[in-house]
């Protein structure tokens, strides 16, 4: 009887522990949704929060509806999806490679996509920029830029995985392959820009690399949504495999996990998310590094809860960064890639320093 009581008490405390984690996820989701409303509300054209809610619920005036439906809502949904996707991609890369510094950015996938954009804009002339009334620049052929950015991001992923397989897929070899390819693509980008005959094209490609959530149209959002949701489902399905991987490769194998297969799948899907996000939106740095680390500190390392929480945190952070970038010197918009990097670089340095201290 005493033993049964003790077991019941233990069960109750574990149950409480699980409920707490679920509550944290719920809070993050609520915070992301609130941020979404704030983000729709913020911008050069003033729309009250009440009008935002009314418009989203389908009862706003035509002018507000046009601004919300055509500009702000797509931007907010893109931010949520790209933030969630990049964050979970980083979370899975860090788990799969057992390296806290792994992320779409540090593995060089973003640099590969930027190289693709350079090829499209400078070599193929997709970047004859147009000056708008506000003095902004637009890419004249965004599809070619997106396609080439995507192609090189995927090529980089395939190369990293192929190179890593030669070294029996050890996490170290994947990170090293990522670093090497990243340097290679950066060098390629420099060369293209150096030999570019048209400085306007160089300006256009620099503009592209800033990253912009406003680039995605509804058609692209649907594709981004489908891919992000399917990928999140895939990761969630493998959450127990990733938990086992957290205990080391040998332990994971002894628990029945097909380590190489799980790692290959995880890396491929997270690279795919990155490739699509970067090719649609440009380089958005550090969300894939910062968001999973912040989430881990709040909810712990259990992938059952870390995956959904990282998704919510990524969406929340990217939306916050985008809102800051739009309101801080309104009506001008700061490049989102710079804002996320300002947020992420100090954390990256902190992780490096902490890593050395531990050694």
CA distance 68 to 59: 12
> Between 61 and 260, whose beta carbon lies closer to other proteins?
260
Least gap, CB of 305 to other proteins (angstroms): 11
135 secondary structure, DSSP code: S
> Between 63 and 258, whose beta carbon lies closer to other proteins?
258
Q: Which residue, 272, 241, 246, is CA-closest to 259? A: 241
Least gap, CB of 259 to other proteins (angstroms): 9
Least gap, CB of 315 to other proteins (angstroms): 24
Binding site for other proteins (CB under 8 A): 3, 6-7, 10-11, 13-14, 17, 98, 240, 243-244, 246-248, 250-251, 253-258, 300-302, 304
Distances (CA, A) of 286 to 101, 110, 297, 349: 10, 10, 17, 12
Q: Is 298 exposed, middle or buried (CB count within 10 Å of its CB: 0-12, 13-18, 19+)?
A: middle
Neighbouring C-alpha atoms within 13 Å toward the C-beta of 190: 6
> Between 215 and 238, whose beta carbon lies closer to other proteins?
238
Least gap, CB of 301 to other proteins (angstroms): 4
List, in order, residues 6 or more apart from 147 with CB less than 8 Å away.
120, 279
Least gap, CB of 265 to other proteins (angstroms): 15
> Between 37 and 236, whose beta carbon lies closer to other proteins?
236
CA distance 227 to 259: 24
CA distance 267 to 264: 5
> Between 165 and 304, whose beta carbon lies closer to other proteins?
304
3-class SS of residue 138: strand
> Between 198 and 246, whose beta carbon lies closer to other proteins?
246
Phi/psi at 272 (nearest 5 deg)?
Answer: -65, -45
> Between 59 and 254, whose beta carbon lies closer to other proteins?
254
CA distance 23 to 28: 9
Least gap, CB of 95 to other proteins (angstroms): 9
Least gap, CB of 262 to other proteins (angstroms): 11
């Amino acid at each position: 009887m005493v033993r049964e009581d003790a077991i019941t008490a233990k069960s109750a405390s574990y149950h409480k522990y699980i409920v707490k984690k679920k509550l944290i996820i719920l809070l993050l989701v609520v915070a992301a949704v609130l941020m979404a409303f704030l983000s729709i509300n913020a911008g050069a054209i003033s729309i009250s929060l009440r009008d935002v809610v009314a418009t989203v619920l389908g009862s706003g005036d035509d002018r507000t509806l046009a601004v919300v439906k055509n500009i702000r809502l797509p931007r907010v949904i893109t931010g949520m999806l790209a933030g969630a996707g990049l964050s979970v991609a980083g979370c899975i890369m860090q788990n799969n490679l057992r390296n806290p510094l792994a992320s779409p950015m540090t593995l060089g996938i973003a640099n590969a996509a930027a190289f693709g954009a350079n090829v499209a804009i400078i070599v193929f002339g997709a970047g004859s920029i147009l000056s708008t009334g506000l003095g902004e620049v637009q890419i004249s052929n965004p599809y070619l830029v997106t396609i080439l950015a995507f192609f090189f991001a995927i090529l980089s992923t395939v190369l990293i995985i192929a190179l890593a397989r030669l070294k029996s897929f050890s996490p170290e070899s994947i990170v090293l392959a990522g670093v090497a390819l990243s340097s290679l693509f950066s060098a390629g980008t420099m060369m293209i820009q150096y030999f570019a005959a048209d400085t306007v094209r160089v300006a256009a490609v620099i503009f592209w690399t800033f990253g912009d959530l406003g680039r995605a149209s509804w058609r692209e959002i649907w594709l981004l949504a489908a891919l992000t949701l399917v990928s999140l489902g895939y990761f969630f399905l493998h959450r127990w495999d990733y938990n086992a991987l957290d205990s080391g490769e040998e332990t994971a194998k002894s628990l029945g996990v097909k380590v190489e297969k799980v790692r290959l799948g995880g890396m491929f899907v997270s690279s795919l998310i990155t490739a699509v996000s970067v090719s649609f939106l440009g380089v958005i740095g550090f969300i894939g590094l910062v968001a999973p680390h912040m989430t881990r500190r709040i909810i712990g390392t259990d992938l059952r809860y870390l995956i959904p929480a990282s998704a919510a945190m990524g969406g929340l952070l990217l939306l916050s960064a985008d809102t800051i970038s739009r309101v801080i010197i309104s009506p001008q918009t700061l490049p989102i890639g710079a804002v996320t990097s300002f947020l992420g670089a100090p954390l990256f340095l902190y992780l490096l320093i902490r890593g050395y201290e531990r050694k």
